[in-house]
Structure 1
Amino acid sequence: MDGAGAVLDMGDWRAQLPPESRERIVNKILETLLRHHPVSNREGLQELNKIALRIEGNFYAAAISQSDYLRKISLKMLTMETKAQNTRPYALPSNPAGNSCEDSAGKGKILKTPPSMASISNGLRHQKRARLPPSNQNETQNPVDYISQLPNDIIIHIFSFLTTKDAVKTSVLSKQWRSTWTSNQYMSFSLPPGSSSNLKSFIAFVDSVLLRCTAVQVKRFLFDAPCHAFMQSSLDTWLQFAIMHDVEEVSITPHYWRYNIYELPQILFLCTTLVSLCMSQCCFSVLSAVNWRSLKILRIEYAELYDEGMVRVFSGSPVLEFLELKSCRGVKHIMVESKSFRELVIDSHEFRPDQGLMLKIWAPHLLKLRLLGNSQGGEFSLDEVSSLTEAELNFDMESFALDKVKAHGDLVVGLLKRLHHVTKLVMGSWCLQVLSLMEAREVFLPSLQCRHLILLGTADHEGVPAIVKILESTRCLEKLFLQMTCTLNSAVEFNAEGVGRHNSAGEEFWNSAKWRIHQCLMHLKHVEIVDRGANLLLWESVLSLLKFLLQNALCLDKILINCTNSESSQAVEVAGILLSHPKCCPSTKVILRCPSQGCPSKHVR
């Protein structure tokens, strides 16, 4: 959304908020202040009222939506009300609604973790408290349960940020919350890996929570815990419960000790209310039809996939927008016809000789493609991606062997030919190193239409030939981004005099390449360098490029040097050198952004 749209939305939610709602919230804040700081005169009451108005006004001005406004207010009131509850155990509250179902973790089950609202109040505990008139009255003399007066929709919104275990703990805060947690629509059950001794009590706890649940709909169901054969039937039951309650978001992350793979129940593939699904280490065997008519987000990690099953998934997901496959194997074709399809991420794809060494992608409406991670032993083929506007080639195949140079070069060049029309292109270090190795073979890249180019970790001397190749092909380039990776420190001191000597060959190289990239120099406006602790040799190479661009880029507006290492002084030295270097465009700005400066950025003219 653009800036104008954002401003319009902010105005809309404030206009729709009735004034009496704000007055009611101010009164609630005032009541809370009075409880902790009782006053006995009119002046003290007026002072507290001003503080309540100021608190509400600050949150009203800072919030980006009505839900954000209510969340900030509720968290503030909780911080004022909540006291430390970290010393005594607590029992799972019974369901006052009259649910007669009981199990091994039912009424009176003692849990080991003490109650804590630190997850809610951490962000607010350091806020400066208002100075109030002194009072000799004890705040415990007249206890009032103000938290119970919060609207249920605010309480449920707070629950959406907590795990189910933490939501149960909140029952100690007020009488109302002892029953409200049972209507929580956001369920999140987790155990750290290796917690096998707690599995039985964990299963009993989940069963008890679901039996006490009074929510008509379960919007979110998250499971992240060790999973063994004896508890897979329980996980089936829990998923079925969520599906029968029209679940919208499901995340299943089982942890295994003996390489067991949880087989997803077939009923999950018929969940028509599902909007987001994330699965890790699950058996994705689709034996029947798929009806995911509402699914927009699908993430699959560490899974064995099959073309036939994936065809059913794609045909049964007509509004799919985002797909991510991480460390998956088996699938050879990704064919998505959905007109809603926006982004595809392939991360560390596993190629196997018996399952095919080619992954073909056919998605005519896809807008963004990202090929990431280590994908050894195979190739990517882009059969139909004509609607792409952004592409990222940040994957690597294997070590650079002489007998593989041509094959790797053909792969990268072939991908660039299919991506010639994208307006934003990201290239990782492996792909650029391949292009550098292909320099001697006189490989010609296709003409690229990208206006925003991002090169990751390739600015050293070995990566310079690849940079020239790319700049030569991107004739309409407007924005260039270079990320310098951390390398071994050099023993050579970094100073202006030393850089001048070491860089002479680099500057001559760029001047000789000027005729090859002259069209790029006509449109380039913005150059950004990110330093992640690079050594002297890497900075020398980058400095040569920056000097060349300063002196030859006709429309260059600014060079931004973003130094992420607060202990590095190289970026400051580079900015000083660029300050005295001749500029083709007198209005070009050099901006240094360094953590050690104590401010976001430092401008150098």
Structure 2
Amino acid sequence: MDLSGYRDVISSLPEDISCHILSFLSTKEAASTSVLSRKWRYLFAFVPNLDLDDSVYLNPRNKTDISTSFMDFVDRVLALQGNFPLHKFSLKIGDGVDPVRITPWIHNVLDRGVSDLYLHLNLESEFLLPSKVYLSKTLVRLKLRFGLYPTIDVEDVHLPNLKSLYIESTHFEKHGIGLSKLLSGCPMLEDLVLDDISWCIWDFASVSVPTLRKLTFCWEERDEFPKSVLLDTPNLVYLKFTDTVAGKYPKVNFDSLVEAHIDLRLLKPILINYHQGYGENDMVGNATDFMMRICNVKTLYLSANTLQVLTYSCDAIPLFNNLTHLTIESNPKVGWQSVPGLLKNSPNLETLIFQGLIHKATNKCGDVCLCYKPREEILSCLSSSPVKFIEILKFGEISDDMEKQIKYFLETMPNLEKMILYYNTSSVGNVIAVSSRLRRLVSKVPSSKCIVQLISDNLSLSSTVSKDGLLFFKSTSPV
């Protein structure tokens, strides 16, 4: 408001700009502006984005009336907009909304050329998406989340402009065939997210999309494993993959992969009763074919589960010639047996990131840590490591074992230039105490040229130990 002249500056904006501003609000909020003045009365009807969420109507004392009110509101909004072109339609509903009302809403927005369609249908009754969804020529982004009856049944699929597909908590009526058919009808698909898709019950799971650039697959831990998984994505550059190791990988094509986040898990056959031919202590599946195909990556994240897989379910660790950034997640129940092989097979590695240093100590932990071995008996692979930067995340209170590990890195890694430790604390005194302890530690390794820095994001404070052992503090907040 221009208080000097009492002029409403916002209302004087051109209508297309006002509509653009309203497009960032939920549809209910945008509709509430209709009471401001005559000019605003129908302006929200020309907003190109509709964001409809029945939870904003919920009242536990009278759910039926609230659901009816929401459904009537959606009908009025769509009727008021008429055939006005639509860019985005987001619909989030729970049980209580009549499924019969949903299909006409979807048909309405598809007929108006919607490009972004987000459907979160948490219904307690069975509902199949109308076939028109799979035959849209205008859809560019499609996001589907389902409730108790998460079924997708596809017959004909032709989505010529779809670039992004997100499917969560569902199963396909025709199992792997249904997914393959859906993907084959998306010739321009670049970004695919499959979250909680139960392909472990399929005899054969396949993602074969030559145009795909990003793939995210997440299947949380179950007492099952996929039997056969094919991944043919020659142009994929980003992969985030969470799954149990499959029985086999007949084809894996990641020729263009640049960044990968891998969380593979082992499964012992004793947990299941429908697979034969394995000993009680054998691990089901073999991850060799999968791991060998990610060898071109430049940035790699490996969970603690994956370290186990590399130890027990992989015939050999790949040669990572292009790898420059490696992140390793530590877990007190998992050893580092596979870490030496990873470092030896990463000749161009520059940055090594540990999500914690605490791991299971074994006499097979290799030579990247001390564990049970006396220092003089170790000829460490770290002595030939090209790593220049180490980052240690989730760094808590420094212990004697942790101090020895840090000192070991400083002593044995000749190319190390900087080590950063991220300390999660709200106490300045803790930062000062740990920094002083690090200073004493660095002074014991005079041969090291590495700068050690302790950063506390909670305090926006960092301390740096210089090469001459001096201690500096500075704020990490932007000025």
**TM-score, normalised via structure 1 length:** 0.64
Q: Is residue 270 of structure 1 aligned with residue 135 of structure 2?
A: yes
Query: Structure 2: how far apart are the matches of 1:236 and 1:505?
Result: 63
Query: For residue 337 of structure 2, what is the aligned residue in structure 1?
Result: 465
Distance change (3 Å), C-alpha of 1:381 and 1:590: farther
Query: For residue 276 of structure 2, what is the aligned residue in structure 1?
Result: none
User: Given residue 423 of structure 1, which amino acid in structure 2 is its aligned partner?
Assistant: K
Distance change (3 Å), C-alpha of 1:212 and 1:350: farther
Q: Specify every segment of 5 or more residues in structure 1 that has no aligned partner in the other structure, as ranges.
A: 1-31, 39-142, 488-503
Query: Structure 2: how far apart are the matches of 1:159 and 1:206?
Result: 17
Work out which of the residue numbers 388, 397, 402 in structure 2 matches 1:525. 388
Query: Structure 1: how far apart are the matches of 2:197 and 2:207?
Result: 16
SS of 2:408's equivalent in the other structure is helix
8 Å Cα contact 1:326-1:347 kept in structure 2: yes
Which protein is richer in strand relative to its size?
2
Query: Structure 2: how far apart are the matches of 1:511 and 1:370?
Result: 40
SS of 2:110's equivalent in the other structure is helix
Work out which of the residue numbers 343, 360, 370 in structure 1 matches 2:214. 343
In the TM superposition, residue 264 of structure 1 has moved relative to its aligned partner by 0.9
Query: Structure 1: how far apart are the matches of 2:281 and 2:253?
Result: 26
Query: Structure 1: how far apart are the matches of 2:222 and 2:230?
Result: 12
Query: For residue 322 of structure 1, what is the aligned residue in structure 2?
Result: 191
Q: Is residue 591 of structure 1 aligned with residue 450 of structure 2?
A: no
SS of 1:411's equivalent in the other structure is coil
After superposition, where does 1:94-493 map in structure 2 within 5 Å?
Answer: 143-192=6-55, 196-197=63-64, 198-214=66-82, 216-227=84-95, 231-256=98-123, 258=124, 260-281=125-146, 282-288=150-156, 290-305=157-172, 306-330=175-199, 332-339=204-211, 341-348=212-219, 357-372=227-242, 375=244, 383-398=252-267, 406-407=282-283, 411-435=286-310, 438=312, 444-449=316-321, 450-458=323-331, 460=332, 462-484=334-356
User: Given residue 479 of structure 1, which amino acid in structure 2 is its aligned partner?
Assistant: T
Query: For residue 438 of structure 2, what is the aligned residue in structure 1?
Result: 575
In the TM superposition, residue 178 of structure 1 has moved relative to its aligned partner by 1.6
In the TM superposition, residue 214 of structure 1 has moved relative to its aligned partner by 4.8
In the TM superposition, residue 465 of structure 1 has moved relative to its aligned partner by 2.7
Number of equivalences: 433
8 Å Cα contact 1:184-1:215 kept in structure 2: no
8 Å Cα contact 1:483-1:530 kept in structure 2: yes
Query: Structure 2: how far apart are the matches of 1:399 and 1:509?
Result: 34
Task: Give aligned-pair identity as a percent.
Answer: 22
Distance change (3 Å), C-alpha of 1:146 and 1:467: same
Distance change (3 Å), C-alpha of 1:307 and 1:583: farther
8 Å Cα contact 1:507-1:545 kept in structure 2: no
Query: Structure 2: how far apart are the matches of 1:338 and 1:352?
Result: 32
User: Given residue 178 of structure 2, which amino acid in structure 1 is its aligned partner?
Assistant: G
Per-residue CA shift, 1:284-329, capped at 9, x if unaligned? 21111x2211111101011112333323322221211111111112
In the TM superposition, residue 169 of structure 1 has moved relative to its aligned partner by 1.3
User: Given residue 555 of structure 1, which amino acid in structure 2 is its aligned partner?
Assistant: N
In the TM superposition, residue 577 of structure 1 has moved relative to its aligned partner by 4.3
Per-residue CA shift, 1:318-369, capped at 9, x if unaligned? 2111111111124633333433x1111110168898x962222121221222
185-194 vs 272-281, greater mean Cα deviation: 185-194
Q: Which has the larger radius of gyration?
A: 1
Per-residue CA shift, 1:351-404, capped at 9, x if unaligned? 898x962222121221222212x6488666652222222222124345797956
User: Given residue 169 of structure 2, which amino acid in structure 1 is its aligned partner?
Assistant: Y
8 Å Cα contact 2:304-2:330 kept in structure 1: yes
Q: Is residue 36 of structure 1 aligned with residue 11 of structure 2?
A: no
8 Å Cα contact 1:159-1:184 kept in structure 2: yes
In the TM superposition, residue 557 of structure 1 has moved relative to its aligned partner by 2.2
In the TM superposition, residue 179 of structure 1 has moved relative to its aligned partner by 1.8
Per-residue CA shift, 1:124-157, capped at 9, x if unaligned? xxxxxxxxxxxxxxxxxxx543321012232222
Query: Structure 2: how far apart are the matches of 1:400 and 1:595?
Result: 44
Query: Structure 2: how far apart are the matches of 1:270 and 1:571?
Result: 61
SS of 1:178's equivalent in the other structure is coil
In the TM superposition, residue 571 of structure 1 has moved relative to its aligned partner by 5.2
Which protein is richer in helix relative to its size?
1
User: Given residue 582 of structure 1, which amino acid in structure 2 is its aligned partner?
Assistant: V
After superposition, where does 1:501-580 map in structure 2 within 5 Å?
Answer: 506=371, 512-519=377-384, 521=385, 523-531=386-394, 534=396, 540-567=400-427, 572=435, 575-580=438-443
Query: For residue 364 of structure 2, what is the aligned residue in structure 1?
Result: none
Query: For residue 477 of structure 2, what is the aligned residue in structure 1?
Result: none
